[in-house]
Amino acid sequence: MFISKSFIPILKNNPTEAKIKSHQLMLRVGMIKQSSAGIYSWLPLGFKVMKKIERVVREEQDRIGVQEILMPTIQSSEIWKESGRYKDYGEELLRIKDRQGREILYGPTNEELITDIFRSSIKSYKTLPQLLYHIQWKFRDELRPRFGIMRCREFYMKDAYSFDINDEEAFFSYNKFFLSYLKTFKRLELSAIPMAADTGPIGGNLSHEFIILAETGESKIYTDKRIFDLKYDDEVLEKNSLKKLREKYEKFYAVTDEKFDQKEFDKNVSKENRLSTKGIEVGHIFYFGDKYSKPMNAAVDHQGKKEYVKMGSYGIGVSRLVGAIIEAKYNDKEEIMKWPISVSPYDIAIIPLINKNDSTNLDKAVSICKALNEKNLDVIIDDTEENFSSKLKKFNLIGIPYQILLGKKSEGDLLEFKEIGKESQNLSVKQIIDLVTKIKNKI
């Protein structure tokens, strides 16, 4: 791909309307465009990143055996009346009337719809557990949409739901997601910590928010900072080892502000380990038992008895993660972004120094690009005649982690290869392919 042909509308300066660095950068390099309050179009660069995040999220759901489905964005109000949330959800719920005058709504979440799908087909406990997920747009009419796609009204979310016969099995499902979330965020190079959280309007009694630290975050957290040093092995999907994994995290005090208790904090965390700060919620898991299955009559036959299924729900803010990764990785003082290779819009940028009437470097760029493409590496070439340093500045903002610089330091087959934030080195095309492919295969 040539940058001159791409739709990457870069701004010269930081947009003044944006208050936090992720919002600034996303507008600056043309990843999104606001279409109305809290509603955005995703332009190629932003869309590529979001799709790659989605892929990581999907792979980690599939890995724990969750089955993908797709539910619609529009739901009937009937099922929401059954659960009682048509009234309780309040003004964040976008209510619409169709031409017959029927009340419908744009789904802010899908507990009701999935419960309706479940109850119409599953009758026996023998088909449990059922774990289902979808990745779909949601709408919440937020009172104050802000910070770009971090708190918007229309956003892209992965939501999964579990159905089990009893608490013990339901906790097993919950813990599978707990592990899966740790892995997902790790692949995105984020250090997201599970914090005990309030269950809010979803209801129930067990819940963790996965939070990354960021000054601009809207969640207040209180924690023992040693929780950040915890490591986990590639745990097997086995009841006991997953239970232990969650206990390992829960040993440390780590809560969001709704659950905060100063006395408990002081008692459980030594002074030097206390951390109270702000963060961004990137995922949230809940266990809420029969909160929906009972009013909506979702039950299975179990040894001649009718049992309401025990449910949990598990969300990840796929679109919010684009901003969250920027908050974590963007150095706004030096104006340098570096995407994790797992989600970078391109794998490698080729930046040739181009003098008027001399196409040598551009030709070289095109032939290198071909070789990289053949090895499934996604490449963008800066074919503009801008001066070299402004090209570098631009690519430091775009944040593709690997660059091939075709300037004075590239000699013959030995190309100047640079990983953002590191010293450059001279490598052959083959060495570059091996190096980047190896890193890509690891994630």
160 binds ligand ATP (CB under 6 A): no
Q: Which is nearer to ligand ATP, 283 or 312 (CB)?
A: 283
Find the part of the chain contacting ligand ATP (CB under 6 A) among 147-155, 232-240, 293-301, 430-438: 147-155
**Residues 6 or more apart whose Cβ sits within 8 Å of residue 404:** 348, 349, 350, 351, 365, 368, 410, 415, 416, 417, 418, 432
23 binds ligand ATP (CB under 6 A): no
Q: Which is nearer to Mg ion, 286 or 417 (CB)?
A: 286
Residue 435: both structure tokens together:
């190096």
Give, in order, the Cα–Cα distances in Å from 89 to each of 83, 95, 137, 166.
11, 11, 18, 27
Name 416's bridge partners.
405, 426
Q: Which is nearer to ligand ATP, 223 or 319 (CB)?
A: 319
Q: Which is nearer to Mg ion, 198 or 238 (CB)?
A: 198
| Residue 334 one-letter amino acid | E
Site for ligand ATP in 266-285 (CB under 6 A): 281-284
138 binds Mg ion (CB under 5 A): no
Give the one residue of 284, 310, 320, 418 binding Mg ion; rule: CB under 5 A: 284
Distance between CA atoms of residues 173 and 164, nearest Å: 8
315 binds ligand ATP (CB under 6 A): yes
Distance between CA atoms of residues 417 and 317, nearest Å: 34
| Residue 82 binds which entry of Mg ion, ligand ATP, none, CB below 5-8 Å type-dependent | none
Name the closest residue to ligand ATP (Cβ). Answer: 317
- The CB-side HSE value for 223 (13 A sphere, CA atoms) comes to 29
**Residues 6 or more apart whose Cβ sits within 8 Å of residue 82:** 112, 295, 296
Give the one residue of 21, 140, 176, 391 binding ligand ATP; rule: CB under 6 A: 140
Q: Which is nearer to Mg ion, 119 or 320 (CB)?
A: 320
Site for Mg ion in 193-212 (CB under 5 A): none
| Residue 29 binds which entry of Mg ion, ligand ATP, none, CB below 5-8 Å type-dependent | none
Q: Residue 192 CB, nearest distance to ligand ATP (Å)? A: 10
Q: Residues touching Mg ion: how many (CB under 5 A)?
A: 1
194 binds ligand ATP (CB under 6 A): no
85 binds ligand ATP (CB under 6 A): no
151 binds Mg ion (CB under 5 A): no
Concatenating the DSSP letter of every residue in 10-28 gives --SS--TT--SHHHHHHHH
Q: Residue 252 CB, nearest distance to Mg ion (Å)? A: 20
Burial 333-369, CB ≥16 within 10 A → b, else e: eebbbbbbbbbbbbbbbbbbbbeeeeeebbebbeebb
Q: Which is nearer to Mg ion, 119 or 284 (CB)?
A: 284
Contacts of 300-308 with C-beta under 8 Å, sequence gap 24+, read 300/122, 300/123, 300/124, 300/125, 300/127, 300/128, 300/165, 301/123, 301/124, 301/125, 302/125, 302/165, 307/125, 307/165, 307/166
Residue 305: count other Cβ atoms within 10 Å of its Cβ. Answer: 9
Q: Which is nearer to ligand ATP, 142 or 250 (CB)?
A: 142
Q: Residue 19 CB, nearest distance to ligand ATP (Å)? A: 15
Summarize as ranges the residues that interact with Mg ion (CB under 5 A): 284
Summarize as ranges the residues that interact with ligand ATP (CB under 6 A): 109, 140, 142, 151-152, 155, 157, 281-284, 315, 317, 319-320
